[in-house]
Structure 1
Amino acid sequence: MRVPVLTYHSNNVAGNDYADNDHVALAADLRLIARRGLRIVPLATVVDVLLGEAPASEVARAVALSFDDGSWFDWHDIDHPTCGPQRGFAGILRDFAADTGAAVHATSFVIVSPQARATLDRTCLAGRGWWDDAWWRPAQQEGLVAIESHSWDHNHHTLPVTAQHAQRTGTFRTIDTRADADAQIRQAADWLDRRLAPHRTTLFAFPYGESNDYLLREYLPRHAGEHRVRAAFGTDPAPVELTASRWNLPRYVCGSHWRSPAELERLIATR
Protein backbone atom coordinates (compact mmCIF):
# COMPACT_ATOMS: atom_id res chain seq x y z
CA MET A 1 0.00 0.00 0.00
CA ARG A 2 1.47 3.31 -1.13
CA VAL A 3 -1.24 5.86 -1.95
CA PRO A 4 -0.54 9.55 -2.55
CA VAL A 5 -3.33 11.78 -1.25
CA LEU A 6 -3.42 14.99 -3.30
CA THR A 7 -4.94 18.04 -1.62
CA TYR A 8 -6.34 21.18 -3.25
CA HIS A 9 -7.83 24.44 -1.94
CA SER A 10 -10.53 25.80 -4.24
CA ASN A 11 -10.14 29.26 -2.68
CA ASN A 12 -6.63 29.41 -4.15
CA VAL A 13 -7.33 31.57 -7.21
CA ALA A 14 -4.67 34.25 -7.63
CA GLY A 15 -4.39 34.06 -11.41
CA ASN A 16 -5.20 31.66 -14.22
CA ASP A 17 -2.00 29.66 -14.45
CA TYR A 18 -1.21 26.28 -12.94
CA ALA A 19 1.01 27.64 -10.17
CA ASP A 20 -1.50 30.20 -8.87
CA ASN A 21 -4.87 28.54 -9.48
CA ASP A 22 -5.84 25.20 -7.94
CA HIS A 23 -8.71 24.81 -10.42
CA VAL A 24 -6.30 24.91 -13.34
CA ALA A 25 -3.97 22.57 -11.47
CA LEU A 26 -6.70 20.04 -10.63
CA ALA A 27 -7.88 19.80 -14.24
CA ALA A 28 -4.32 19.28 -15.49
CA ASP A 29 -3.48 16.81 -12.72
CA LEU A 30 -6.46 14.59 -13.46
CA ARG A 31 -5.21 14.20 -17.02
CA LEU A 32 -1.73 13.42 -15.74
CA ILE A 33 -3.09 10.78 -13.36
CA ALA A 34 -4.95 9.15 -16.26
CA ARG A 35 -1.83 9.18 -18.46
CA ARG A 36 0.11 7.46 -15.70
CA GLY A 37 -2.51 4.70 -15.64
CA LEU A 38 -3.49 5.39 -12.03
CA ARG A 39 -6.95 5.03 -10.54
CA ILE A 40 -8.68 7.57 -8.29
CA VAL A 41 -10.19 5.97 -5.18
CA PRO A 42 -12.24 7.48 -2.34
CA LEU A 43 -10.25 8.58 0.68
CA ALA A 44 -12.50 6.41 2.84
CA THR A 45 -11.31 3.37 0.89
CA VAL A 46 -7.71 4.24 1.70
CA VAL A 47 -8.66 4.31 5.39
CA ASP A 48 -10.53 1.00 5.05
CA VAL A 49 -7.37 -0.65 3.72
CA LEU A 50 -5.19 0.99 6.37
CA LEU A 51 -7.46 -0.35 9.13
CA GLY A 52 -7.61 -3.84 7.65
CA GLU A 53 -11.26 -3.52 6.61
CA ALA A 54 -10.57 -3.92 2.87
CA PRO A 55 -7.87 -5.71 0.85
CA ALA A 56 -4.84 -3.79 -0.38
CA SER A 57 -5.92 -4.55 -3.95
CA GLU A 58 -8.62 -1.88 -3.50
CA VAL A 59 -5.93 0.81 -3.64
CA ALA A 60 -3.41 -0.77 -5.98
CA ARG A 61 -1.98 1.81 -8.41
CA ALA A 62 -4.24 4.48 -6.98
CA VAL A 63 -4.29 8.04 -5.74
CA ALA A 64 -6.91 9.82 -3.63
CA LEU A 65 -8.10 13.42 -3.78
CA SER A 66 -9.07 15.80 -1.00
CA PHE A 67 -10.21 19.43 -0.87
CA ASP A 68 -9.89 21.70 2.17
CA ASP A 69 -12.20 24.37 3.65
CA GLY A 70 -15.49 23.62 1.85
CA SER A 71 -16.38 26.89 0.12
CA TRP A 72 -18.69 27.22 -2.88
CA PHE A 73 -15.66 26.92 -5.14
CA ASP A 74 -15.58 23.17 -4.41
CA TRP A 75 -19.01 22.76 -5.99
CA HIS A 76 -20.18 25.78 -8.01
CA ASP A 77 -18.78 27.49 -11.07
CA ILE A 78 -17.84 31.02 -9.98
CA ASP A 79 -17.31 34.33 -11.73
CA HIS A 80 -14.22 35.35 -9.79
CA PRO A 81 -14.01 39.12 -9.18
CA THR A 82 -10.43 39.41 -10.48
CA CYS A 83 -9.70 36.21 -12.40
CA GLY A 84 -12.97 35.69 -14.25
CA PRO A 85 -15.03 32.50 -14.66
CA GLN A 86 -13.76 29.47 -12.78
CA ARG A 87 -14.99 25.91 -13.20
CA GLY A 88 -15.82 24.54 -9.76
CA PHE A 89 -13.94 21.49 -8.52
CA ALA A 90 -17.03 19.27 -8.88
CA GLY A 91 -17.48 20.38 -12.48
CA ILE A 92 -13.83 19.60 -13.20
CA LEU A 93 -14.33 16.10 -11.80
CA ARG A 94 -17.47 15.59 -13.88
CA ASP A 95 -15.72 16.84 -17.04
CA PHE A 96 -12.88 14.39 -16.45
CA ALA A 97 -15.26 11.48 -15.90
CA ALA A 98 -17.23 12.36 -19.03
CA ASP A 99 -14.08 12.67 -21.16
CA THR A 100 -12.33 9.53 -19.94
CA GLY A 101 -15.00 7.24 -18.53
CA ALA A 102 -12.82 6.89 -15.43
CA ALA A 103 -14.20 6.69 -11.92
CA VAL A 104 -13.46 9.82 -9.91
CA HIS A 105 -14.12 10.87 -6.33
CA ALA A 106 -12.91 13.47 -3.85
CA THR A 107 -13.38 14.26 -0.17
CA SER A 108 -14.09 17.84 0.86
CA PHE A 109 -12.98 18.66 4.40
CA VAL A 110 -15.27 21.52 5.37
CA ILE A 111 -15.17 24.21 8.04
CA VAL A 112 -18.39 23.44 9.88
CA SER A 113 -19.48 26.48 11.91
CA PRO A 114 -21.99 28.58 9.92
CA GLN A 115 -21.00 31.69 11.87
CA ALA A 116 -17.30 31.13 11.19
CA ARG A 117 -17.90 30.59 7.48
CA ALA A 118 -20.00 33.74 7.23
CA THR A 119 -17.14 35.74 8.70
CA LEU A 120 -14.49 33.98 6.62
CA ASP A 121 -16.52 34.75 3.51
CA ARG A 122 -15.93 38.44 4.27
CA THR A 123 -12.36 38.22 5.57
CA CYS A 124 -10.91 35.65 3.15
CA LEU A 125 -13.14 35.75 0.05
CA ALA A 126 -15.19 38.49 -1.62
CA GLY A 127 -18.07 38.75 0.87
CA ARG A 128 -20.59 37.38 -1.65
CA GLY A 129 -22.04 34.49 0.36
CA TRP A 130 -19.74 31.92 -1.23
CA TRP A 131 -19.19 29.86 1.93
CA ASP A 132 -22.61 28.53 2.85
CA ASP A 133 -23.41 24.82 3.21
CA ALA A 134 -26.42 24.44 0.90
CA TRP A 135 -24.37 22.33 -1.51
CA TRP A 136 -23.13 19.79 1.04
CA ARG A 137 -26.18 17.51 1.02
CA PRO A 138 -26.49 17.45 -2.81
CA ALA A 139 -22.79 16.64 -2.98
CA GLN A 140 -23.13 13.81 -0.51
CA GLN A 141 -26.18 12.46 -2.33
CA GLU A 142 -24.53 12.57 -5.76
CA GLY A 143 -21.57 10.60 -4.43
CA LEU A 144 -18.94 12.57 -6.31
CA VAL A 145 -17.66 14.64 -3.37
CA ALA A 146 -17.84 13.29 0.18
CA ILE A 147 -18.24 15.79 3.02
CA GLU A 148 -15.98 15.38 6.06
CA SER A 149 -14.74 17.61 8.88
CA HIS A 150 -12.03 20.27 8.85
CA SER A 151 -12.96 21.34 12.42
CA TRP A 152 -15.58 23.65 13.84
CA ASP A 153 -13.96 27.01 13.02
CA HIS A 154 -10.36 26.27 11.90
CA ASN A 155 -9.26 28.36 14.91
CA HIS A 156 -8.81 30.97 12.21
CA HIS A 157 -7.00 34.18 13.06
CA THR A 158 -9.54 36.44 11.28
CA LEU A 159 -12.45 35.31 13.47
CA PRO A 160 -13.39 37.64 16.35
CA VAL A 161 -13.94 34.63 18.63
CA THR A 162 -13.07 30.96 18.13
CA ALA A 163 -13.76 27.79 20.11
CA GLN A 164 -10.22 27.87 21.53
CA HIS A 165 -10.68 28.86 25.19
CA ALA A 166 -7.74 31.29 25.44
CA GLN A 167 -8.17 32.75 21.92
CA ARG A 168 -4.74 31.57 20.80
CA THR A 169 -5.70 31.54 17.15
CA GLY A 170 -4.01 31.01 13.80
CA THR A 171 -2.80 27.52 14.69
CA PHE A 172 -4.34 24.17 15.60
CA ARG A 173 -1.49 23.26 17.94
CA THR A 174 -3.24 25.21 20.72
CA ILE A 175 -6.16 22.75 20.68
CA ASP A 176 -4.63 20.83 23.57
CA THR A 177 -7.41 20.32 26.12
CA ARG A 178 -10.43 18.01 26.18
CA ALA A 179 -12.82 20.98 26.08
CA ASP A 180 -11.12 22.60 23.10
CA ALA A 181 -10.82 19.31 21.22
CA ASP A 182 -14.48 18.51 21.82
CA ALA A 183 -15.44 21.99 20.63
CA GLN A 184 -13.41 21.72 17.43
CA ILE A 185 -13.73 18.02 16.55
CA ARG A 186 -16.71 16.44 18.31
CA GLN A 187 -18.97 19.47 17.92
CA ALA A 188 -18.18 19.58 14.20
CA ALA A 189 -18.95 15.87 13.78
CA ASP A 190 -22.23 16.22 15.70
CA TRP A 191 -23.34 19.15 13.52
CA LEU A 192 -22.43 17.43 10.26
CA ASP A 193 -24.15 14.21 11.29
CA ARG A 194 -27.37 16.08 12.02
CA ARG A 195 -27.13 18.09 8.81
CA LEU A 196 -26.23 15.22 6.49
CA ALA A 197 -28.02 12.23 8.04
CA PRO A 198 -27.93 9.35 7.32
CA HIS A 199 -24.31 10.08 6.37
CA ARG A 200 -21.93 9.81 9.32
CA THR A 201 -18.73 11.84 9.54
CA THR A 202 -15.68 9.66 10.19
CA LEU A 203 -12.67 11.50 8.73
CA PHE A 204 -10.93 14.64 9.95
CA ALA A 205 -8.28 16.94 8.46
CA PHE A 206 -6.23 19.11 10.78
CA PRO A 207 -6.48 22.84 10.03
CA TYR A 208 -3.12 24.14 8.82
CA GLY A 209 -2.04 20.47 8.84
CA GLU A 210 -1.14 21.02 12.50
CA SER A 211 -1.59 18.69 15.45
CA ASN A 212 0.01 18.08 18.84
CA ASP A 213 0.79 15.25 21.25
CA TYR A 214 -2.48 15.65 23.13
CA LEU A 215 -4.58 15.18 19.99
CA LEU A 216 -2.44 12.39 18.54
CA ARG A 217 -1.76 10.38 21.70
CA GLU A 218 -4.72 11.13 23.96
CA TYR A 219 -7.82 12.65 22.45
CA LEU A 220 -8.14 10.92 19.07
CA PRO A 221 -7.18 7.37 20.09
CA ARG A 222 -8.79 7.32 23.56
CA HIS A 223 -12.07 9.09 22.88
CA ALA A 224 -12.95 7.61 19.50
CA GLY A 225 -16.30 6.36 20.76
CA GLU A 226 -17.34 9.95 21.37
CA HIS A 227 -15.85 11.89 18.44
CA ARG A 228 -16.28 8.94 15.99
CA VAL A 229 -13.22 9.84 13.90
CA ARG A 230 -11.72 6.79 12.20
CA ALA A 231 -8.65 8.57 10.85
CA ALA A 232 -7.17 12.06 10.72
CA PHE A 233 -5.04 13.71 8.05
CA GLY A 234 -2.18 16.16 8.30
CA THR A 235 0.04 17.53 5.56
CA ASP A 236 3.32 15.65 5.83
CA PRO A 237 4.46 15.10 2.21
CA ALA A 238 4.40 11.32 1.87
CA PRO A 239 2.12 8.58 0.53
CA VAL A 240 -0.17 6.69 2.89
CA GLU A 241 1.42 3.33 3.72
CA LEU A 242 0.38 0.58 6.12
CA THR A 243 2.91 1.85 8.66
CA ALA A 244 1.35 5.35 8.77
CA SER A 245 -0.33 6.61 11.92
CA ARG A 246 -4.10 6.64 11.47
CA TRP A 247 -4.27 9.85 13.52
CA ASN A 248 -1.88 11.87 11.33
CA LEU A 249 -2.00 10.48 7.81
CA PRO A 250 0.12 12.30 5.20
CA ARG A 251 -1.12 14.37 2.26
CA TYR A 252 0.58 16.31 -0.51
CA VAL A 253 -0.69 19.91 -0.87
CA CYS A 254 -0.91 21.60 -4.26
CA GLY A 255 1.09 24.82 -4.27
CA SER A 256 3.25 23.71 -1.36
CA HIS A 257 4.57 20.27 -2.27
CA TRP A 258 4.25 20.65 -6.04
CA ARG A 259 3.74 23.64 -8.32
CA SER A 260 3.85 22.15 -11.83
CA PRO A 261 2.77 19.00 -13.66
CA ALA A 262 6.41 17.93 -13.87
CA GLU A 263 6.79 18.18 -10.09
CA LEU A 264 3.60 16.17 -9.55
CA GLU A 265 4.77 13.53 -12.02
CA ARG A 266 7.99 13.09 -10.06
CA LEU A 267 5.98 12.89 -6.85
CA ILE A 268 3.75 10.07 -8.08
CA ALA A 269 6.38 8.37 -10.26
CA THR A 270 6.96 5.67 -7.65
CA ARG A 271 3.38 4.42 -8.06
Structure 2
Amino acid sequence: MKVPILTYHSSNIAGNDYDSNNHVALAEDLRTIARLGLRIVSVTEVVDALLGEVPQSSVENAVALTCDDGSFFDWHDMEHPHYGPQRGFAGILRDHTEQTGRRAQMTSFVIVSPDARAVLDVTCMAGRDWWRDDWWREAAREGVIAIENHSWDHNHATLPRTVQHEQRKGTFSTIDNRADADAEIRAAADWLDAHLAPQRSTLFAYPYGEWNDYLVREYLPRHAHEHRQRAAFTGEPHPVEANTDRWLIPRYVCGHHWKTPGELESLLREMRG
Protein backbone atom coordinates (compact mmCIF):
# COMPACT_ATOMS: atom_id res chain seq x y z
CA MET A 1 0.00 0.00 0.00
CA LYS A 2 1.53 3.28 -1.16
CA VAL A 3 -1.06 5.93 -1.99
CA PRO A 4 -0.19 9.61 -2.53
CA ILE A 5 -2.83 12.14 -1.49
CA LEU A 6 -2.55 15.36 -3.50
CA THR A 7 -3.88 18.58 -1.95
CA TYR A 8 -4.93 21.86 -3.58
CA HIS A 9 -6.31 25.24 -2.49
CA SER A 10 -8.84 26.72 -4.88
CA SER A 11 -8.21 30.21 -3.51
CA ASN A 12 -4.59 30.02 -4.71
CA ILE A 13 -5.00 32.17 -7.82
CA ALA A 14 -2.17 34.62 -8.44
CA GLY A 15 -1.98 34.26 -12.21
CA ASN A 16 -3.05 31.91 -14.97
CA ASP A 17 -0.16 29.47 -15.25
CA TYR A 18 0.69 26.25 -13.44
CA ASP A 19 2.81 27.65 -10.63
CA SER A 20 0.47 30.55 -9.83
CA ASN A 21 -2.96 28.95 -10.15
CA ASN A 22 -4.13 25.72 -8.49
CA HIS A 23 -6.98 25.39 -11.00
CA VAL A 24 -4.54 25.28 -13.90
CA ALA A 25 -2.39 22.87 -11.88
CA LEU A 26 -5.29 20.52 -11.05
CA ALA A 27 -6.38 20.27 -14.70
CA GLU A 28 -2.83 19.50 -15.83
CA ASP A 29 -2.24 17.06 -12.98
CA LEU A 30 -5.36 15.09 -13.88
CA ARG A 31 -3.90 14.62 -17.35
CA THR A 32 -0.62 13.43 -15.82
CA ILE A 33 -2.45 10.98 -13.56
CA ALA A 34 -4.39 9.56 -16.52
CA ARG A 35 -1.30 9.30 -18.71
CA LEU A 36 0.46 7.29 -16.01
CA GLY A 37 -2.48 4.88 -15.84
CA LEU A 38 -3.32 5.71 -12.22
CA ARG A 39 -6.83 5.59 -10.77
CA ILE A 40 -8.38 8.29 -8.63
CA VAL A 41 -9.93 7.03 -5.39
CA SER A 42 -11.49 8.93 -2.51
CA VAL A 43 -9.67 9.54 0.76
CA THR A 44 -12.50 7.60 2.39
CA GLU A 45 -11.45 4.55 0.36
CA VAL A 46 -7.84 5.10 1.41
CA VAL A 47 -8.88 5.25 5.08
CA ASP A 48 -11.02 2.12 4.65
CA ALA A 49 -7.97 0.28 3.28
CA LEU A 50 -5.68 1.66 6.00
CA LEU A 51 -8.07 0.50 8.73
CA GLY A 52 -8.48 -2.95 7.18
CA GLU A 53 -12.14 -2.50 6.27
CA VAL A 54 -11.41 -3.26 2.61
CA PRO A 55 -8.40 -5.00 1.02
CA GLN A 56 -5.37 -2.79 0.50
CA SER A 57 -5.36 -3.99 -3.09
CA SER A 58 -8.45 -1.82 -3.63
CA VAL A 59 -6.23 1.27 -3.63
CA GLU A 60 -3.30 -0.08 -5.64
CA ASN A 61 -2.09 2.14 -8.50
CA ALA A 62 -4.23 4.97 -7.22
CA VAL A 63 -4.02 8.54 -5.99
CA ALA A 64 -6.50 10.54 -3.90
CA LEU A 65 -7.31 14.23 -4.20
CA THR A 66 -8.23 16.75 -1.51
CA CYS A 67 -8.60 20.51 -1.20
CA ASP A 68 -8.75 22.72 1.86
CA ASP A 69 -10.87 25.55 3.27
CA GLY A 70 -14.13 25.16 1.30
CA SER A 71 -14.35 28.37 -0.72
CA PHE A 72 -16.71 28.94 -3.66
CA PHE A 73 -13.89 28.20 -6.08
CA ASP A 74 -14.06 24.53 -5.09
CA TRP A 75 -17.49 24.31 -6.68
CA HIS A 76 -18.30 27.32 -8.85
CA ASP A 77 -16.85 28.73 -12.03
CA MET A 78 -15.96 32.31 -11.12
CA GLU A 79 -14.85 35.58 -12.69
CA HIS A 80 -11.71 36.52 -10.81
CA PRO A 81 -11.28 40.32 -10.43
CA HIS A 82 -7.65 40.19 -11.63
CA TYR A 83 -7.24 36.95 -13.59
CA GLY A 84 -10.52 36.48 -15.41
CA PRO A 85 -12.67 33.34 -15.76
CA GLN A 86 -11.73 30.40 -13.57
CA ARG A 87 -13.11 26.89 -13.92
CA GLY A 88 -14.05 25.62 -10.46
CA PHE A 89 -12.52 22.41 -9.14
CA ALA A 90 -15.83 20.57 -9.56
CA GLY A 91 -16.04 21.57 -13.22
CA ILE A 92 -12.43 20.50 -13.81
CA LEU A 93 -13.19 17.10 -12.28
CA ARG A 94 -16.37 16.70 -14.34
CA ASP A 95 -14.51 17.69 -17.52
CA HIS A 96 -11.87 15.05 -16.82
CA THR A 97 -14.48 12.36 -16.25
CA GLU A 98 -16.28 13.25 -19.48
CA GLN A 99 -13.07 13.37 -21.53
CA THR A 100 -11.48 10.18 -20.19
CA GLY A 101 -14.37 8.06 -18.95
CA ARG A 102 -12.51 7.78 -15.62
CA ARG A 103 -14.34 9.15 -12.60
CA ALA A 104 -12.51 11.94 -10.83
CA GLN A 105 -13.45 12.96 -7.31
CA MET A 106 -12.06 15.08 -4.51
CA THR A 107 -12.67 15.75 -0.81
CA SER A 108 -12.94 19.35 0.38
CA PHE A 109 -11.95 19.93 4.00
CA VAL A 110 -13.99 23.01 4.90
CA ILE A 111 -13.75 25.73 7.54
CA VAL A 112 -17.15 25.34 9.15
CA SER A 113 -18.00 28.50 11.11
CA PRO A 114 -20.18 30.83 8.99
CA ASP A 115 -19.02 33.86 10.99
CA ALA A 116 -15.35 32.95 10.57
CA ARG A 117 -15.75 32.42 6.84
CA ALA A 118 -17.46 35.80 6.46
CA VAL A 119 -14.43 37.48 8.01
CA LEU A 120 -11.91 35.34 6.10
CA ASP A 121 -13.69 36.20 2.85
CA VAL A 122 -12.57 39.80 3.46
CA THR A 123 -9.16 39.20 5.05
CA CYS A 124 -7.97 36.35 2.81
CA MET A 125 -9.85 36.78 -0.48
CA ALA A 126 -11.54 39.63 -2.32
CA GLY A 127 -14.46 40.32 0.00
CA ARG A 128 -17.05 39.17 -2.56
CA ASP A 129 -18.94 36.65 -0.43
CA TRP A 130 -17.05 33.73 -1.95
CA TRP A 131 -16.90 31.64 1.22
CA ARG A 132 -20.53 30.67 1.67
CA ASP A 133 -21.68 27.11 2.40
CA ASP A 134 -24.83 26.95 0.26
CA TRP A 135 -23.11 24.63 -2.23
CA TRP A 136 -21.94 22.04 0.32
CA ARG A 137 -25.16 20.03 0.44
CA GLU A 138 -25.38 19.80 -3.35
CA ALA A 139 -21.74 18.79 -3.54
CA ALA A 140 -22.17 16.10 -0.90
CA ARG A 141 -25.19 14.75 -2.74
CA GLU A 142 -23.49 14.64 -6.16
CA GLY A 143 -20.28 13.07 -4.88
CA VAL A 144 -17.79 14.83 -7.14
CA ILE A 145 -16.59 16.82 -4.14
CA ALA A 146 -17.16 15.33 -0.68
CA ILE A 147 -17.34 17.67 2.31
CA GLU A 148 -15.29 17.00 5.44
CA ASN A 149 -13.98 18.76 8.55
CA HIS A 150 -11.19 21.38 8.56
CA SER A 151 -12.12 22.72 12.02
CA TRP A 152 -14.55 25.35 13.26
CA ASP A 153 -12.51 28.49 12.59
CA HIS A 154 -8.96 27.32 11.64
CA ASN A 155 -7.75 29.26 14.70
CA HIS A 156 -6.98 31.79 12.00
CA ALA A 157 -4.72 34.74 12.76
CA THR A 158 -6.93 37.27 10.94
CA LEU A 159 -10.06 36.56 13.00
CA PRO A 160 -10.86 39.03 15.79
CA ARG A 161 -11.59 36.08 18.09
CA THR A 162 -11.31 32.31 17.77
CA VAL A 163 -12.50 29.48 20.00
CA GLN A 164 -8.96 29.00 21.34
CA HIS A 165 -9.44 30.13 24.92
CA GLU A 166 -6.21 32.14 25.24
CA GLN A 167 -6.44 33.65 21.73
CA ARG A 168 -3.13 32.09 20.68
CA LYS A 169 -4.03 32.26 17.02
CA GLY A 170 -2.36 31.50 13.70
CA THR A 171 -1.40 27.93 14.61
CA PHE A 172 -3.24 24.71 15.42
CA SER A 173 -0.55 23.52 17.81
CA THR A 174 -2.20 25.56 20.58
CA ILE A 175 -5.34 23.37 20.43
CA ASP A 176 -3.95 21.27 23.26
CA ASN A 177 -6.82 20.68 25.68
CA ARG A 178 -10.26 19.08 25.67
CA ALA A 179 -12.33 22.28 25.59
CA ASP A 180 -10.46 23.83 22.67
CA ALA A 181 -10.37 20.54 20.74
CA ASP A 182 -14.11 20.06 21.19
CA ALA A 183 -14.73 23.64 20.07
CA GLU A 184 -12.62 23.22 16.92
CA ILE A 185 -13.22 19.59 15.91
CA ARG A 186 -16.35 18.22 17.54
CA ALA A 187 -18.41 21.41 17.07
CA ALA A 188 -17.45 21.46 13.39
CA ALA A 189 -18.49 17.82 12.97
CA ASP A 190 -21.78 18.53 14.75
CA TRP A 191 -22.55 21.44 12.41
CA LEU A 192 -21.71 19.44 9.29
CA ASP A 193 -23.83 16.49 10.42
CA ALA A 194 -26.80 18.76 11.16
CA HIS A 195 -26.61 20.72 7.90
CA LEU A 196 -25.59 17.99 5.46
CA ALA A 197 -27.72 15.10 6.76
CA PRO A 198 -27.87 12.27 5.88
CA GLN A 199 -24.16 12.79 5.11
CA ARG A 200 -21.88 12.46 8.14
CA SER A 201 -18.47 13.99 8.78
CA THR A 202 -15.86 11.33 9.57
CA LEU A 203 -12.54 12.83 8.39
CA PHE A 204 -10.54 15.76 9.74
CA ALA A 205 -7.66 17.77 8.25
CA TYR A 206 -5.46 19.75 10.62
CA PRO A 207 -5.41 23.50 9.88
CA TYR A 208 -1.95 24.55 8.71
CA GLY A 209 -1.18 20.81 8.65
CA GLU A 210 -0.23 21.20 12.33
CA TRP A 211 -0.89 18.80 15.18
CA ASN A 212 0.39 18.11 18.67
CA ASP A 213 0.75 15.08 20.95
CA TYR A 214 -2.47 15.86 22.80
CA LEU A 215 -4.56 15.70 19.63
CA VAL A 216 -2.80 12.66 18.16
CA ARG A 217 -2.33 10.55 21.30
CA GLU A 218 -5.19 11.67 23.54
CA TYR A 219 -8.10 13.58 22.04
CA LEU A 220 -8.60 11.97 18.65
CA PRO A 221 -8.14 8.30 19.65
CA ARG A 222 -9.73 8.41 23.10
CA HIS A 223 -12.76 10.56 22.33
CA ALA A 224 -13.62 9.18 18.89
CA HIS A 225 -17.09 8.13 20.06
CA GLU A 226 -17.82 11.82 20.68
CA HIS A 227 -16.14 13.66 17.81
CA ARG A 228 -16.84 10.74 15.41
CA GLN A 229 -13.79 11.30 13.20
CA ARG A 230 -12.12 8.17 11.81
CA ALA A 231 -8.83 9.69 10.68
CA ALA A 232 -6.91 12.96 10.50
CA PHE A 233 -4.72 14.40 7.74
CA THR A 234 -1.52 16.45 7.90
CA GLY A 235 0.54 18.27 5.27
CA GLU A 236 3.56 16.00 5.44
CA PRO A 237 4.93 14.87 2.04
CA HIS A 238 4.69 11.09 2.19
CA PRO A 239 2.44 8.41 0.70
CA VAL A 240 -0.08 6.57 2.83
CA GLU A 241 1.36 3.15 3.67
CA ALA A 242 0.17 0.12 5.61
CA ASN A 243 1.76 1.33 8.86
CA THR A 244 0.58 4.96 8.62
CA ASP A 245 -0.94 6.33 11.83
CA ARG A 246 -4.64 7.00 11.21
CA TRP A 247 -4.31 10.34 13.05
CA LEU A 248 -1.28 11.43 10.99
CA ILE A 249 -2.20 10.65 7.39
CA PRO A 250 0.20 12.55 5.10
CA ARG A 251 -0.65 14.67 2.07
CA TYR A 252 1.41 16.35 -0.64
CA VAL A 253 0.50 20.04 -1.12
CA CYS A 254 0.53 21.64 -4.56
CA GLY A 255 2.99 24.52 -4.73
CA HIS A 256 4.96 23.27 -1.72
CA HIS A 257 5.85 19.66 -2.43
CA TRP A 258 5.72 19.88 -6.21
CA LYS A 259 5.74 22.97 -8.39
CA THR A 260 5.72 21.65 -11.98
CA PRO A 261 4.01 18.85 -13.92
CA GLY A 262 7.39 17.16 -14.23
CA GLU A 263 7.95 17.18 -10.48
CA LEU A 264 4.55 15.60 -9.92
CA GLU A 265 5.23 12.95 -12.56
CA SER A 266 8.54 12.09 -10.91
CA LEU A 267 6.84 11.86 -7.51
CA LEU A 268 4.14 9.54 -8.84
CA ARG A 269 6.61 7.37 -10.76
CA GLU A 270 8.74 6.92 -7.65
CA MET A 271 5.74 5.68 -5.76
CA ARG A 272 5.07 3.04 -8.39
CA GLY A 273 8.64 1.78 -8.05
Q: Taking structure 2 as the reference length, what is the TM-score of the superposition? A: 0.99
> For 1:193-240, what per-residue CA distance to the aligned partner results, in whole angstroms no more than 9, with x for missing partners?
000001110000000000000000000000000000100000110000
Counterpart residue number, 1:75 = 75
Question: SS of the counterpart of 2:66?
Answer: strand
Q: Cα distance, 1:58 vs. partner?
A: 1.2
Question: SS of the counterpart of 1:109?
Answer: strand
RMSD of aligned residue pairs (Cα, Å): 0.5
Q: Which amino acid is 1:24 matched to?
A: V
Counterpart residue number, 1:243 = 243
Structure 1 residue 60 corresponds to structure 2 residue 60? yes
Question: SS of the counterpart of 2:175?
Answer: coil
Q: Cα distance, 1:257 vs. partner?
A: 0.2
Q: Which amino acid is 1:104 matched to?
A: A
Question: SS of the counterpart of 1:40?
Answer: strand
Counterparts of residues 143-222 of structure 1 (less than 5 Å):
143-222=143-222
Counterpart residue number, 1:50 = 50
Q: 2-side partners of 1:37 and 1:232: how far apart?
A: 28
Q: 2-side partners of 1:258 and 1:229: how far apart?
A: 29
Q: Taking structure 1 as the reference length, what is the TM-score of the superposition? A: 0.99
Question: SS of the counterpart of 1:27?
Answer: helix
Q: Which amino acid is 1:205 matched to?
A: A
Query: How many residue pairs align between the two structures?
Result: 271
Question: SS of the counterpart of 1:7?
Answer: strand
Counterparts of residues 14-163 of structure 1 (less than 5 Å):
14-163=14-163
Unaligned runs of 5+ in 2: none
Q: Which amino acid is 2:6 matched to?
A: L
Q: Which amino acid is 2:192 matched to?
A: L
Counterparts of residues 224-235 of structure 1 (less than 5 Å):
224-235=224-235
Q: 2-side partners of 1:192 and 1:41: how far apart?
A: 23
Q: 2-side partners of 1:140 and 1:152: how far apart?
A: 19
Q: 2-side partners of 1:20 and 1:200: how far apart?
A: 34
Q: 2-side partners of 1:251 and 1:265: how far apart?
A: 16
Question: SS of the counterpart of 1:66?
Answer: strand
Q: 1-side partners of 2:245 and 2:146: how far apart?
A: 22
Structure 1 residue 223 corresponds to structure 2 residue 223? yes
Q: 2-side partners of 1:38 and 1:67: how far apart?
A: 19
Q: 2-side partners of 1:103 and 1:49: how far apart?
A: 19
Question: SS of the counterpart of 2:219?
Answer: helix
Q: 1-side partners of 2:57 and 2:217: how far apart?
A: 30
Q: 1-side partners of 2:77 and 2:164: how far apart?
A: 34
Q: 2-side partners of 1:263 and 1:170: how far apart?
A: 30
Q: 2-side partners of 1:221 and 1:248: how far apart?
A: 11
Q: Which amino acid is 1:48 matched to?
A: D
Q: Which amino acid is 1:103 matched to?
A: R
Q: 2-side partners of 1:168 and 1:41: how far apart?
A: 37
Q: Cα distance, 1:187 vs. partner?
A: 0.2
Q: Which amino acid is 2:200 matched to?
A: R
Question: SS of the counterpart of 2:108?
Answer: strand
Runs of 4 or more, structure 1, over 6 Å off, are none
Q: 2-side partners of 1:73 and 1:143: how far apart?
A: 16
Q: 2-side partners of 1:259 and 1:168: how far apart?
A: 32
